[in-house]
Amino acid sequence: MKRRKGQGHIPHSVITDVVDRLALNAEAVCRHYLPRGRRQGGYWRVGDLANTPGCSLFVRLQSGARGPAGKWTDAATGQHGDLLDIIRASCALRSFSETLAEACAFLGLPITSRNATAAPAGRRQSGAPSSSSSSGAAFSHVPSDIVSTLADSINVARRLVMASTPIDGTLAESYLGRRGLMALDGLTALRFHPASLYRDEADQASGAAADLSPMEEGSSQVRSARRGPALIVSITDAAGWVTGIQRTWLDREALMSGAPLNARLGKADLPDPRRSLGLIAGGAARFAALRARDGLEALVLGEGIETVLSLRAVLPTVPLAATLSAAQLAGFECPAGLRHLLIAQDNDPAGRAAAAALSARATQAGLMAVVLVPRRSDFNDDLRGDGAAGLMAHVRMQLERHGLGDLCPASP
């Protein structure tokens, strides 16, 4: 790998790890950072690094005899490079540390305070770590290790899943219940950790590891952090392997008081109470159907878990998945054998664009793609505002236009 200007003290192993992970998700990277291009065979074709329509620049999407995935060449200029170069040019980033931070945010990887600065405002992906400070008075202060690596983040995420428990009878179940989400038995992707570590600085893999083992107060290698109850959501690849997690820290007092929830809706009073760890790109939180149905080859897909789980009761025979961000939704790879893709759109510019992009790609692949649009900002808002019967009527009306009304019961 060539030495990059601004690489400085960032370890070569860290850069290699990020580049390799980007290459595994080369098409998702291209769809997000070079959206005016299109796939042709095993390549993504676009005019140039400035995202101009055309076909002079081509990015290899799969490794093969001609080279590794993620490598690109501009036939018009002779320039060549990897996916980090594409990210830097697309976002007009000035330094390599900013580029690395943006790549980590896209992948859902922790960003080390020593090795990278925070991604520029407006470019951070949903669920990505933040470097904001926090007050969080409800959290007790505990020390946390400052050493962090990217390479072990997936293993740390898996260990944290094993250290957590099913949500039955926990604060996580209360949080989802207060959002109107019921009948969650058997959803193994949902877990609860009673004292998950939260730090003021950008998330780090070793910090998550501290959830698993206590640290000594007097250590010279610790800094102040907090612990609090958290909903843990497993992110899996197409084969079912856990590749990452999403943690949502919860406000115990608000959830247990019985009083109406404020704008945080039960999440802890932290700058970013929701963080991801591990490899998120290409994966999803997957939820089984409420009731089995033979011969159904359909999937409900949305961004957030609350949005997707809101549709579980009104589409009881369809499995569901949440990608955790609009960017990941747009680049989702549909599983083999799928015939109907029901896309739960979020009503914001990013959500509408992602749903449209995925719908067009799914249709081109021969699937029936149906974009389901909520009345409010998302389907959980609709569920809490209209109740299950109102949401069911709204969804059924949209499905009937496509001859799929039987997927949605006439009443709860």
CATH number, domain at 181?
3.90.980
Residues 251 and 313 grouped into a single domain: no
Q: What is the pLDDT of residue 9?
A: 58
- The pTM of the full predicted model, rounded to 2 decimals, is 0.68
Q: CA 103, CA 19: separation in Å to the nearest integer?
A: 9
Same domain, 71 and 151: no
Which residue has better confidence, 173 or 146? 173
Q: Is residue 112 part of a domain?
A: no
Residues in the chain, overall count: 412
Task: Looking at the structure, tell me whether residues 72 and 167 fall in a common domain.
Answer: no
Q: Look at residue 7 in the predicted model and tell me its pLDDT.
A: 54
For range 302-331, the mean pLDDT:
94
Rounded to whole angstroms, how far apart are CA atoms 97 and 93?
9
Q: Are residues 230 and 270 in the same domain?
A: yes
Would you say residue 237 lies in a domain? yes
Q: Same domain for 299 and 375?
A: yes
Domain extent, residue 168, equals 140-278
pLDDT, mean over the chain: 82
- CATH code of the domain in which 332 resides: 3.40.1360.10
- Give the pLDDT band (50/70/90) at residue 344: very high
| Four-residue CA torsion sign, 20, 22, 23, 25 | positive
Last residue of a domain, one of 107, 127, 148: 107
Q: What is the model's pLDDT at position 355?
A: 95
303 and 213 inside one domain: no
Going from the C-alpha of 274 to that of each of 98, 128, 187, 253, 362, the distances in angstroms are 22, 8, 20, 18, 29
**Structure tokens that stand for 280 in this block:** 């998120």
Same domain, 87 and 176: no
Considering 249, 278, 307, which residue would you say is the last residue of a domain? 278
148-165 pLDDT, tens digit per residue, is 344 467 888 888 999 999
186 within domain boundaries = yes
Confidence check: pLDDT of 117 > 70: no
Residue 113 belongs to some domain of the structure: no
Query: What does the pLDDT read at residue 18?
Result: 85
Q: Taking 80 as the threshold, does the pLDDT of residue 133 lie above it?
A: no
Per-residue pLDDT band for 124 (boundaries 50, 70, 90) equals: very low
Q: Which of the two residues, 357 and 129, has the higher pLDDT score?
A: 357
Residue 118 lies in a domain: no
Binned at pLDDT 50, 70 and 90, residue 139 comes out as very low
User: Predicted confidence band at 280 (pLDDT cuts at 50, 70, 90)?
Assistant: confident
pLDDT beyond 60 at 215: no
Which of 1-5, 23-27, 108-112, 260-264 has the lowest average pLDDT? 1-5
CA distance 302 to 300: 7
- Say how many domains are in the chain: 3
Q: Are residues 392 and 301 in the same domain?
A: yes
Report, as an integer, the average pLDDT of 45-73: 89
Residue 103's CATH number: 3.90.580
Q: Let me know: does 108 contact 279? Beta carbons within 8 Å.
A: yes
Q: Is residue 6 part of a domain?
A: no
Of the candidates 85, 107, 129, which is a domain's last residue? Answer: 107
130 within a domain of the structure (yes/no):
no
User: Which one of 141-150, 197-206, 367-376 scores highest in mean pLDDT?
Assistant: 367-376
Do residues 335 and 375 both lie within one domain? yes
pLDDT > 70 in the chain, percent: 81
pLDDT of residue 138: 38
Helix runs in 34-147, H state only: 83-91, 96-107
Is 119 domain-assigned? no
Same domain, 220 and 182: yes
Are residue 175 and residue 220 in the same domain, yes or no? yes
266, 292: one domain = no
At 199 the pLDDT is 80
